[in-house]
Structure 1
Amino acid sequence: MRPSFLQLTLLLLFFSLTASPPLFAQQTGKISGYVRAADGNGVLPGATVAVPALGLGANTDSKGFYTLPLPVGSHTVQVTFVGYQTATRSIRVTENSQTVSFSLEPASSQLQEVVVEANTLKQKFNSTQMSVDVLTSREAKLLPALFGEVDLIKTLQLKPGVQSGGEGSSGLYVRGGGPDQNLVLLDDAIIYNASHLFGFFSVFNPDAVHQVELYKGGFPAQFGGKLSSVVDVTQREGNNEKIQATGGLGLISSRLTLDGPIVKDKATFLVSGRRTYFDVFTRQINRLNEDNKDYSPIPDYYFYDLNAKLNYRLSNTDELSFSGYFGRDFFTFKDAGFSAGFNWGNKMGALSWRRKLSPNLFATTTLSGTGYQYTISNNIDVFTFKLTSEINDVGLKTDFDLLLDGGHSVKFGAMGTRHQFTIGNLNFNSQDNSLAIEAGSDYEATEFGLYAGDDFEVNPQLSVNYGLRFSGFSSGGKTYTGLEPRFSAKYKLSESLSLKGSYAGMRQYIHLATNSGATLPTDVWYPSNQFVAPQRSQQAALGISKLLADGKFLLTNELYYKWMHNQIDFRDGANLFVNDNLEQDFLFGKGRSYGNEIYFEKIKGRTTGWIGYTLSWTFRKFDGRNGQEDINDGNWFPTRYDRRHDLSIVLLHKLKERISLTGAFVYGSGNAFSLPLARFPFQDVEGRDLEVVPVYSDRNSFRMAAYHRLDLGLVWKLQPKRGESDLTFSVYNAYNRRNPYFVYFDEVEDEQQQVPVSFKAKQVSLFPVIPSVTYNFKF
């Protein structure tokens, strides 16, 4: 009998772990612990803990932990991290395990403030993982932004392989995937809608965020549930030394963060808030025009965010942390006899317990609750209308990190999540209750997963990261399960040249039901069930990395190909809002995406930045199998976000001691869309009403004009008597390019007969040149 894939994988994992030679023949001990930032930026993943005299060292993991085997005796340990002062400590190693933690101070050199990545280029070059970008809030704050509102997600759009959905959108389209195919995590809890202001801003307050990791492929085994990317956002911890305040005053919003110690060296806190104030001005304008009968009131709109994080070190082996987030958008309109309201937002809470079980084994258990909801309400005379959709989760997961001699770093764990869905919950009532209509659907589902993976340095030239994830989903009496293999490898051809490759299988059990080209707050999440199978994807990538000028520059080139199955679209005329049988309007097809990404970056010196270019193709096919309707006659067609060329150039230059200049140029091929080729008149039987019916060609067979834009910025550091402050000047769309947002047709009528004689295409653009200024402070 032939062994199964799972048996072979577990057998390979067993032999690789048991066949490793011991690191030292002499008596050895181990030191392990945390590496943190003393300025409140939390733990420092990727920090280097080394003993230079022995040529030994280790990097901290994603939680800031490390373990380092050392010979028994006295040693001098150095800890380094980009942007922070090197910490040096003399320790005596015994045969017993010792806990040695470090707290790094920010570097005094102002040049270190212009930093692009948390990891050095050499660390990125040496990593087995490929298709990963790491972004810190420090970097995002230096770049010019729309209305001066710093946005971490928009900064990720400047990386190769990542596209926006259109002008100003904070949605991510990664390697041909849709916005619902991104797993967005905030301290290990899912965020379902990461956008404010109908997608123009993200929900992540930069003052509360430590860093963001974006995985575009080669996904580690601990991640699952989505097809295209993982956006792993980590909130920063409170300052362990002193209470400090950080914030900013901008044109459309203000923000304030307080953090510091509760019990020094034991407990810290962070509380952060942000709010826009469009409504302050619109309400005043409406009041001034109350007596004007011809005046149309301006709707109210604002959003706010609240972030919190608490850390408590119970002992040298145990630590508790709590992370919380709550954010809402509010849109209201009132006029005589009519009022409308629309609000939406996320909530999240996560309690984590980190325990050091042994010198080389750590366990992290996280209990989380998360939810997303939107509500639309209208009042017209004596009638009230309310529509609500939401998703709420309760999840429990345990992750183990096992650090072994012989170059092994093993991760394994399990997770389970209970989902509750409310889809299209409608209440329509008259004031006297003579008319009452209710509709909507409620669903429950259970998702679970097991995984194991090993990051293994086979020899100085070859390292591999391999693993397997077993996932499952149960809803509506139907259970789906599947294996998701993961593999990536790096082969170092020389000290400055390496090859990397990866493969990942992914499954997605929850789907975003949308019939528009861009994500909207009214889109609803829908579970897999007996009618809707999970989406699946496979992605293979091959890359080459080259360090240039003694490690000052890094050049990478990656090729990828992605296969997608059970992709979802809607039949024509589908209704998302009040539909108790929404799955009957689904159409299922397949997709493919492939491309080439080139990336060149520099992270040290007076001038830093990167250049990214992507050449890609993205297609879908719905061929009407199983008695369903087809799309585009069953032929392949490009998606709306199929973008042939995508270029980004980002530069940051320190002009003087207190003045930094920044700039970002982006260019992208126009989005694909459908236009009618012709129209024909249609008259009713009685010959009174004339309608003009459009005739369409193949789906998405036209292209909008190319998108390009230049943003400029200047950061001027002030010299306050206390703390730090700066003025950030930004110019969005500096040369006033009128980029297309959408195209519509205006009907041209014959003046005498008042019948349509032609149609004229018109382009709608959103943002002209927009200057802004933001005052930032920290004390």
Structure 2
Amino acid sequence: MRKILFCFLLSACALATIAQQARSAVSGRVSDAATGEALPAVTVTVVGTLISTSTNIDGHFVLSGLTTGVLLRFTCIGYRTHEIAVELGATDLIIQLTAEADALGEVVVTGESAQHFKANEHVGMIRLNPRLIATLPSLGEKDIFRAFQLMPGVSAGNEQSAGLYVRGGTPDQNLVLFDGFTVYNVDHLFGFFSAFNAHAIKDVQLFKGGFDAQYGGRLSALMDITGKEGSKAAFNAGVDIGFLSVNGFVETPIGEHISVFAGYRRSFGTSFYDRLKNQATIDNQRASRNNGRLAGIADRLRGEADVQSWFEDLNTKLTYRTDGGDVFSWSVYHGKDHMDNSIQAGSGWLGRRISSFLSNTTDVAAWGNTGTSLKWSRQWTPALYSNTLVSYSHYFSERDNTVQGSITDSLGVERVFRSGTIEDNRLHDYAARTDWEWAASAIHRLGFGMQYSYQDIGYRYARNDTLTLVDRASAGHTVAAYAEDELSLINHRLHIVPGIRVTAFSPTGRVYLEPRLRAEYRLTDRVKVKGTAGQYNQFAKRVVREDLLRGSRDFWLLADDGRIPVSFSRQYSAGISWENGYFLIDAEAYAKKMDGLSEYTLRFQPQGGGADYADFFYEGTGLAKGIDFLLQKKVGRYNGWVGYTLAEVTNRFDAYGEEAFAAANDIRNEFKMVHNYRLGRFDLSLSWFYMTGKPYTAPTGGYQITLLDGTRQTYLNVSEKNALRLPAYHRLDAAVTLNFGRPGRFNGTFGLSLFNLYNRTNIWYKNFDIVEDEIVETDVNYLGFTPNLSLSIKLN
């Protein structure tokens, strides 16, 4: 009885507290004035104080513990600042923000450029508005990932990779969420473009490290992408056309409560597209023709490859909002690439005459990701919010790179052989989660939730029809719970977020604790010091498969604490920033220690044969440390930024020796400049990159043996792991964008982009061949000077 009475009194006190908060709170919802779409991550500030908050994914905000009416200021990148006076206890406020482009009227000649990104909202966080990247130089399309690669602390690794190497981490160590489901494949066309259609994205936030306890399963960074819901005001449609692809979208309201968005992008064949997909092939052929021993005969004998390639992606989203405040949404994403680089023997003029000595080369690859989520969110009270979803994600990557032909042995017997590699990697991820947020008071906000996922991953790697090197299939359950407490202390100058995440992982039967801490302190209204600390675990990861001759490839596997350990990192960061309405100066230092890194290599296989190829997984550790600097001019006709990163990334694998070695993504110095200027209807943009060379491993000698079945076995002597470095990389890009149209009827842009303006020859990687038992080295280069035109038109 006493327990029942105690629970009743406790509930009554809680209800009384919530009721008191409602009387001293101001709450509402922020949306786009033109489309009616909810705006997440809008900063809401009480003017004249340090009290602030931000809107959640559905545009809701709440400020608790107020004692009088206040003046609220709403700021969001890409939108005009809005201020409104409200009375104490005001709820269900409807705030509509006007986009900068709409505020300028008929693409007015005298308009100022809007801020491209927000970099000082939280420690290590960068928030970007997809609509504002169209003026940046590109290879042909607005690309979210390419825009982030312009920021300090974020690298592409190489220009032909849409993946992000964040503060010494690799792309697989980034948690990429699109409307709540995990995306495992983030690029198209072997990395030239990201897999995300910018038209389908409403908001994107990147945390370079130190992300909160709500998120887990990755070591390095978090990218949280919110898809567009579709206009709630009127039908809208648009199309982008470039030298690479066509990209269209439609959005429309259905009645008063439903909105729909659909976008589709498909590549098509042009000379520019052919130049990208054939680049490596062309470089290899050029090297062969320049080699005296081959003299180009091999290309004519082998025949010429007619490379067939395409990519596509589809985004759809349906959103239903009830009068009671419930929001239901169903989001679907599908992306796929296909490339066929096969060569038919004897297709050349000389090959048709001596085709009995030739072989057919099959090189077919396909990869992609499909994901979907069903979300229900509700604002239960002005102070209590929940977001619950179920999701599914499927990743696949398959490649058949084999040679089939025949040889005649010493006895005159013709033997048919097939050699090369066959790979198949598939991943299924089923997940459910519920996240809750309670604004307990003006200084206290509690977040908590639970998450579940079931992952089924398989990988097969074979050298021919008879020799399978790796054939792994594993599945496991992951259950996680978290809690975090967001506190605002010392008259709102100190902002601190302690958190804890607890994860149970079935393949190992262990429970993993991950404490997190994020803190910021305002020394003055313009100067802020900040820091993070935390532990992170990763259970599904991409293993590096070292290939010394043709470049390493990666594949996804599930950890088992046997051959594939659970990865772990402990990371810290600290920084200081100064910011006013026009400029931002920011510096952040970081250190990240990593354990349980995995790599697969055949360089240590015994020459006598009889090896168990599944044994060639090796475990290592890593250490990443560095400092990021950013100087940004945020607004005005002229705006832009300068970023610099000084960093070091080292790994240690006992298999390669006792000493630590430079990681493959170790770029010591990285300097970036971006300049934008608005001149009437024109946007002018210029960007310049400089990066010191990446490390690589090279064979120092080798030989091949032809076996009785016609296959060839290669044996190599190699340098120390990553002991060599490529030359420094630098590149200048420029773009001119013309804005045109009439407000309310149609508008668009016409762009000219000049990639690698001064035609710098940068090395992508080195290719090695064994010819007459000697190593032949070939530089595979990046693109030279490449111009591109693009046209974008939409109704509203």
Moved more, 453-462 or 410-419: 453-462
User: How many residue pairs get matched?
Assistant: 710
Asked if the contact 1:593/1:617 (under 8 Å) is kept, the reply is yes
- Provide the rounded CA distance (Å) in 1 between the counterparts of 2:588 and 2:125: 11
Q: Counterpart amino acid of 2:378?
A: R
CA 1:221/1:692 → structure 2, altered by over 3 Å: closer, same or farther? Answer: closer
Deviations 1:422-453 (A, max 9, x none): 22188999xxxxx9999944321111211111
Which residue of structure 2 aligns with residue 158 of structure 1? 150
Q: Counterpart amino acid of 1:250?
A: G
Q: Is it true that 1:470 corresponds to 2:502 in the alignment?
A: yes
CA 1:89/1:639 → structure 2, altered by over 3 Å: closer, same or farther? Answer: closer
Which residue of structure 2 aligns with residue 32 of structure 1? 27
Which residue of structure 2 aligns with residue 626 of structure 1? none
Which residue of structure 1 aligns with residue 350 of structure 2? none
Deviations 1:180-204 (A, max 9, x none): 1111111111011111111221101
Secondary structure of 1:591's counterpart equals strand
Alignment of structure 1 residues 346-425 onto 2, 5 Å: 346-376=369-399, 388-424=424-460
Q: Counterpart amino acid of 2:618?
A: L
- Provide the rounded CA distance (Å) in 2 between the counterparts of 1:219 and 1:648: 25
Of residues 285, 304, 308, the one that matches 2:316 is 308
- Provide the rounded CA distance (Å) in 1 between the counterparts of 2:305 and 2:64: 69
Deviations 1:93-119 (A, max 9, x none): 66xx83233332323125777333454
Moved more, 373-382 or 267-276: 373-382
Q: Is it true that 1:702 corresponds to 2:724 in the alignment?
A: yes
How far did residue 403 of structure 1 move? Answer: 1.2
Moved more, 712-721 or 270-279: 712-721
- Provide the rounded CA distance (Å) in 1 between the counterparts of 2:773 and 2:504: 59
Secondary structure of 2:635's counterpart equals coil
How far did residue 371 of structure 1 move? Answer: 0.7
Which residue of structure 1 aligns with residue 176 of structure 2? 184
Which residue of structure 2 aligns with residue 68 of structure 1? 63
Asked if the contact 1:196/1:202 (under 8 Å) is kept, the reply is yes
Q: Counterpart amino acid of 2:324?
A: N
Asked if the contact 1:41/1:236 (under 8 Å) is kept, the reply is no
Listed as ranges, the gaps of 5+ residues in structure 1 are 1-17, 284-291, 430-434, 624-629, 685-690, 749-753
Alignment of structure 1 residues 612-651 onto 2, 5 Å: 612-623=643-654, 630-631=655-656, 633-651=657-675
Asked if the contact 1:198/1:521 (under 8 Å) is kept, the reply is no
Q: Counterpart amino acid of 1:209?
A: I
How far did residue 278 of structure 1 move? Answer: 2.2
- Provide the rounded CA distance (Å) in 2 between the counterparts of 1:538 and 1:603: 33
- Provide the rounded CA distance (Å) in 1 between the counterparts of 2:36 and 2:422: 43
Q: Is it true that 1:268 corresponds to 2:259 in the alignment?
A: yes
How far did residue 604 of structure 1 move? Answer: 1.1
Deviations 1:544-584 (A, max 9, x none): 1112xx43111011111111111112243489xxx998762
Q: Counterpart amino acid of 2:693?
A: G
Which residue of structure 1 aligns with residue 239 of structure 2? 247
How far did residue 247 of structure 1 move? Answer: 2.2
Moved more, 334-343 or 171-180: 334-343
How far did residue 416 of structure 1 move? Answer: 0.3
Q: Counterpart amino acid of 1:210?
A: K
Q: Counterpart amino acid of 1:32?
A: S
- Provide the rounded CA distance (Å) in 2 between the counterparts of 1:438 and 1:586: 11
Which residue of structure 1 aligns with residue 737 of structure 2? 715
- Provide the rounded CA distance (Å) in 1 between the counterparts of 2:769 and 2:760: 23
- Provide the rounded CA distance (Å) in 1 between the counterparts of 2:689 and 2:636: 23
Which residue of structure 1 aligns with residue 133 of structure 2? 140
- Provide the rounded CA distance (Å) in 2 between the counterparts of 1:165 and 1:471: 31
Moved more, 692-701 or 484-493: 692-701
Which residue of structure 2 aligns with residue 14 of structure 1? none
Asked if the contact 1:308/1:325 (under 8 Å) is kept, the reply is yes
Asked if the contact 2:703/2:773 (under 8 Å) is kept, the reply is no
CA 1:155/1:57 → structure 2, altered by over 3 Å: closer, same or farther? Answer: closer
Secondary structure of 1:776's counterpart equals strand
- Provide the rounded CA distance (Å) in 1 between the counterparts of 2:598 and 2:773: 40
Which residue of structure 2 aligns with residue 776 of structure 1? 792
Of residues 608, 618, 634, the one that matches 2:639 is 608
- Provide the rounded CA distance (Å) in 2 between the counterparts of 1:505 and 1:443: 25
Asked if the contact 1:498/1:544 (under 8 Å) is kept, the reply is yes
CA 1:274/1:441 → structure 2, altered by over 3 Å: closer, same or farther? Answer: same
CA 1:184/1:112 → structure 2, altered by over 3 Å: closer, same or farther? Answer: farther
Q: Counterpart amino acid of 1:237?
A: E
Secondary structure of 2:146's counterpart equals helix
- Provide the rounded CA distance (Å) in 2 between the counterparts of 1:281 and 1:501: 45
Which residue of structure 1 aligns with residue 583 of structure 2? 553
Asked if the contact 1:390/1:524 (under 8 Å) is kept, the reply is no
Q: Counterpart amino acid of 2:627?
A: N
Deviations 1:702-747 (A, max 9, x none): 2111000011001101236931011011000000000011234688
Q: Is it true that 1:81 corresponds to 2:76 in the alignment?
A: yes
Of residues 308, 314, 319, the one that matches 2:327 is 319
Q: Counterpart amino acid of 1:60?
A: T
Q: Is it true that 1:45 corresponds to 2:40 in the alignment?
A: yes
Q: Counterpart amino acid of 1:714?
A: V
Asked if the contact 1:407/1:457 (under 8 Å) is kept, the reply is yes
Q: Is it true that 1:450 corresponds to 2:450 in the alignment?
A: no
Deviations 1:673-704 (A, max 9, x none): 1245x6599999xxxxxx99865443212211
- Provide the rounded CA distance (Å) in 2 between the counterparts of 1:213 and 1:608: 21
Asked if the contact 1:609/1:651 (under 8 Å) is kept, the reply is yes
CA 1:219/1:87 → structure 2, altered by over 3 Å: closer, same or farther? Answer: closer
Which residue of structure 2 aligns with residue 585 of structure 1? 616
- Provide the rounded CA distance (Å) in 2 between the counterparts of 1:233 and 1:41: 19
Moved more, 340-349 or 447-456: 340-349
Which residue of structure 2 aligns with residue 201 of structure 1? 193
Asked if the contact 2:543/2:557 (under 8 Å) is kept, the reply is yes
Secondary structure of 2:190's counterpart equals helix
CA 1:616/1:293 → structure 2, altered by over 3 Å: closer, same or farther? Answer: closer
Identical aligned residues as a percent: 28
Which residue of structure 1 aligns with residue 94 of structure 2? 101
CA 1:30/1:387 → structure 2, altered by over 3 Å: closer, same or farther? Answer: same
Moved more, 646-655 or 581-590: 581-590
Deviations 1:215-246 (A, max 9, x none): 11221111110101111111122111001012
- Provide the rounded CA distance (Å) in 2 between the counterparts of 1:136 and 1:708: 27
- Provide the rounded CA distance (Å) in 2 between the counterparts of 1:517 and 1:604: 47
Q: Counterpart amino acid of 1:59?
A: S
Listed as ranges, the gaps of 5+ residues in structure 2 are 1-12, 275-299, 346-359, 406-415, 707-712
- Provide the rounded CA distance (Å) in 2 between the counterparts of 1:582 and 1:357: 56
Which residue of structure 2 aligns with residue 278 of structure 1? 269
Moved more, 230-239 or 372-381: 372-381
- Provide the rounded CA distance (Å) in 2 between the counterparts of 1:26 and 1:144: 49
How far did residue 309 of structure 1 move? Answer: 1.1
- Provide the rounded CA distance (Å) in 1 between the counterparts of 2:659 and 2:196: 40
- Provide the rounded CA distance (Å) in 2 between the counterparts of 1:101 and 1:383: 71
Of residues 202, 215, 240, the one that matches 2:207 is 215
How far did residue 645 of structure 1 move? Answer: 0.3
Which residue of structure 1 aligns with residue 759 of structure 2? 736
- Provide the rounded CA distance (Å) in 2 between the counterparts of 1:692 and 1:450: 50
Which residue of structure 1 aligns with residue 250 of structure 2? 258
Q: RMSD in angstroms over aligned alpha carbons?
A: 3.9
Asked if the contact 1:189/1:370 (under 8 Å) is kept, the reply is yes
Q: Is it true that 1:175 corresponds to 2:199 in the alignment?
A: no
Which residue of structure 1 aligns with residue 697 of structure 2? 674
TM-score, with structure 1 as normaliser:
0.82
Deviations 1:447-475 (A, max 9, x none): 12111112211123221111111112112
Secondary structure of 1:98's counterpart equals coil
Asked if the contact 2:47/2:70 (under 8 Å) is kept, the reply is no
Q: Is it true that 1:299 corresponds to 2:299 in the alignment?
A: no
- Provide the rounded CA distance (Å) in 2 between the counterparts of 1:220 and 1:205: 27
Moved more, 564-573 or 538-547: 564-573
